[in-house]
C-alpha cells in the first residue's frame, strides 16, 4: 500500500472529486475521508466511493479535537488535504460565526493533530478570494501569489486566516505545509446554492434566475477536476512553505454564464431577474497561474465550452441527487435568502 491520505470535506463538491481522482489514479493509496456532513454534503455523493476497499469514511467534525485525534491515531495518515469548510459567501454574510469556527479553529485542530502525530504534508485548500477583488476596468491585473491579502467577506477572511495559520505552523514548528488558492470551480455535485447549479436548477424548473446587481461581476471559472489535478501536483511536486495559485484564465461575467446556461437548456432569457446586490460584492477575480504551470507542470485541460456542457448534462441526468439537496431545509434557505432580494 502506498500513502494514506486524509481528505477532510471529502463529501463536498471538490473534496469528493479529489477522492474520486485519487482512487482512480493512485490505486495503491488509502483515502480516508473525514466529513461531518453539513447541509452542503449529500450522502449520495460518496455512494460509489464507499464500495471501494481503499476508501474509508469517518463522520467527524474537524472542530472536534478528540474525534480528529482518534482518526489520526487509527489511520496514521502521511498526508492531510484540508477541504472541509463553510464555503458559501452569502451564508457567511448572514452568519459569520460558524465560518470562523470551522474554517479557522477546525484548521487549527488539524494542524495540531499533524504536529502531534507527525505528517509528510499538510495541504490547505485555499481560495483566490483572499486577495480581495480587481477593478472591472483593469483587465491587465491578475492575482499573483504575493498579491496582498485583502478580504471582503467573513468567508474570505476566515479562509485567509486559515492559510496564514497553516503557513505559520510551517514557519514556527517546521510543519511541511503547502497552500493552493483556486478560482471559482464548476462541475458535477456542486451544491445548488452556488451560481451555476442554482441557475441550472431554477431554469430547469422555469423559475426566475436571480442575478445580483447588474450581473457584471466577473469570475474566473475552472473545471473541478482540473483544480483537483492541481492539488495533486502540489502534493507531488510542490515545495513546502509555498503558495500556488490555480486558475484557468477563463473569466466570464455572471450574466454571460447565466445566458450560456439558458442556451444549453433551451430556456428563454426572460427567466433572468435582476435582484438586490450581494453586500460587499467582489467585482472581479482573475488568477495568474504561471507559477503552478512552470513549477508543477500543471495546466487545466477542460475548456469551458466542454465543461459547462458536461455540467449541465450531469444535472439533467441526476435529478434525484439535485432533489435530495433541494428538498427540506433548502427551501427555507432559498426563501430567506432570495425572498428579501426583491426584483430591481
Residue positions annotated with a catalytic role: 128-129, 155
Cell digits for 14? Answer: 471538490
In the complex, least distance from residue 79 CB atom to ligand NAD, rounded to whole angstroms: 16
The stretch near ligand NAD (CB under 6 A) out of 13-21, 89-97, 109-117, 248-256 is: 13-21
Q: Which of 33, 54, 22, 13 is nearest to 233 (CA)?
A: 22
The strand pairing partners of 223, in sequence order, are: 186
Q: Does 198 bind ligand DAU (CB under 6 A)?
A: yes
Close Cβ partners of 148 (under 8 Å, ≥ 6 residues apart):
131
In the complex, least distance from residue 59 CB atom to ligand NAD, rounded to whole angstroms: 9
DSSP state of 281: -
Cell digits for 114? Answer: 499533524
Residue for grid cell 485542530: 109
50 vs 136, beta carbon nearer ligand DAU: 136
Site string for ligand DAU, 169-188 (x = CB under 6 A): --------------xx----
User: Residue 83 binds which entry of ligand DAU, ligand NAD, none, with Cβ cut-offs from 5 to 8 Å by kind?
Assistant: ligand NAD
Q: Does 184 bind ligand NAD (CB under 6 A)?
A: yes
In the complex, least distance from residue 328 CB atom to ligand DAU, rounded to whole angstroms: 19
In the complex, least distance from residue 271 CB atom to ligand NAD, rounded to whole angstroms: 24
The stretch near ligand DAU (CB under 6 A) out of 27-35, 47-55, 115-123, 211-219 is: 211-219
Q: Which of residues 19-58 bind ligand NAD (CB under 6 A)?
A: 35-38, 40-41
Q: Count the site residues for ligand NAD by CB under 6 A.
A: 30
Contact in structure between 5 and 22 (CB atoms under 8 Å): yes
| Cα angle value 63/195/285 (rounded, 5°) | 80
* Whole-number Cα distances in Å, 304 to 75, 145, 220, 231, 298: 38, 24, 10, 20, 17
CA distance 131 to 133: 6
Q: Does 254 bind ligand DAU (CB under 6 A)?
A: yes
CA distance 113 to 69: 6
Residue nearest to ligand DAU (CB): 127
The stretch near ligand DAU (CB under 6 A) out of 22-30, 123-131, 263-271, 328-336 is: 123-131
Instruction: Pick the binder of ligand NAD from 19, 23, 80, 85 (CB under 6 A).
Output: 85
Q: Does 298 bind ligand NAD (CB under 6 A)?
A: no
Sign of torsion, CA 148 82 10 20?
positive
Q: Which of residues 42-101 bind ligand DAU (CB under 6 A)?
A: 87-89
CA distance 77 to 3: 8
CA distance 98 to 81: 21
5 vs 271, beta carbon nearer ligand NAD: 5
CA distance 20 to 108: 26
CA distance 85 to 7: 12
Interface residue list for ligand NAD (CB under 6 A): 8-9, 11-15, 35-38, 40-41, 61-63, 83-87, 102, 106, 125, 127, 159, 182, 184-185, 191
Which residues contribute to the site for ligand DAU (CB under 6 A)? 87-89, 127-129, 183-184, 194-195, 198, 210-212, 217, 219, 254, 278, 285
Amino acid at each position: 500500500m502506498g500513502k494514506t491520505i486524509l481528505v477532510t470535506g471529502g463529501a463536498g463538491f471538490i473534496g469528493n472529486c479529489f477522492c474520486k481522482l485519487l482512487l482512480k489514479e493512485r490505486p495503491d493509496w488509502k483515502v480516508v475521508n473525514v466529513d461531518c456532513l453539513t447541509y452542503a454534503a449529500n450522502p449520495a455523493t460518496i455512494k460509489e466511493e464507499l464500495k471501494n476497499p481503499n476508501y474509508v469514511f469517518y463522520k467527524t467534525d474537524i472542530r472536534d479535537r478528540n474525534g480528529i485525534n482518534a482518526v489520526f491515531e487509527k489511520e496514521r495518515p502521511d498526508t492531510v488535504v484540508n477541504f472541509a469548510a463553510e464555503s458559501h459567501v452569502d451564508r457567511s454574510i448572514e452568519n459569520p460565526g460558524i465560518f470562523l469556527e470551522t474554517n479557522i479553529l477546525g484548521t487549527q485542530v488539524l494542524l495540531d493533530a499533524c504536529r502531534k502525530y507527525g505528517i509528510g504534508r499538510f495541504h490547505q485548500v485555499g481560495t483566490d478570494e483572499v486577495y480581495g477583488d480587481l477593478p472591472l476596468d483593469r483587465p491587465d491585473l491578475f492575482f499573483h501569489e504575493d498579491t496582498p491579502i485583502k478580504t471582503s467577506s467573513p468567508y474570505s477572511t476566515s479562509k485567509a486566516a486559515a492559510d496564514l495559520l497553516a503557513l505559520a505552523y510551517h514557519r514556527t514548528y517546521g510543519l511541511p505545509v503547502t497552500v493552493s488558492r483556486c478560482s471559482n470551480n464548476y462541475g458535477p455535485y456542486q451544491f445548488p446554492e452556488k451560481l451555476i447549479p442554482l441557475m441550472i436548477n431554477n431554469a430547469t424548473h422555469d423559475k426566475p434566475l436571480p442575478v445580483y446587481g447588474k450581473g457584471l461581476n466577473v469570475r474566473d471559472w475552472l473545471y473541478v477536476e482540473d483544480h483537483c489535478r492541481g492539488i495533486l501536483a502540489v502534493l507531488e511536486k510542490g515545495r513546502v512553505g509555498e503558495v500556488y495559485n490555480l486558475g484557468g484564465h477563463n473569466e466570464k461575467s455572471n450574466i454571460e454564464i447565466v445566458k450560456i446556461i439558458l442556451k444549453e437548456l433551451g430556456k428563454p432569457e426572460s427567466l433572468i431577474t435582476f435582484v438586490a446586490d450581494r453586500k460587499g460584492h467582489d467585482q472581479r477575480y482573475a488568477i495568474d497561474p504561471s507559477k503552478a504551470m512552470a513549477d508543477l507542470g500543471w495546466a487545466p485541460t477542460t475548456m469551458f465550452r466542454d465543461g459547462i456542457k458536461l455540467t449541465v448534462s450531469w444535472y439533467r441526468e441526476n435529478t434525484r441527487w439535485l432533489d435530495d439537496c433541494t428538498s427540506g431545509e433548502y427551501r427555507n434557505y432559498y426563501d430567506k435568502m432570495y425572498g428579501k432580494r426583491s426584483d430591481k
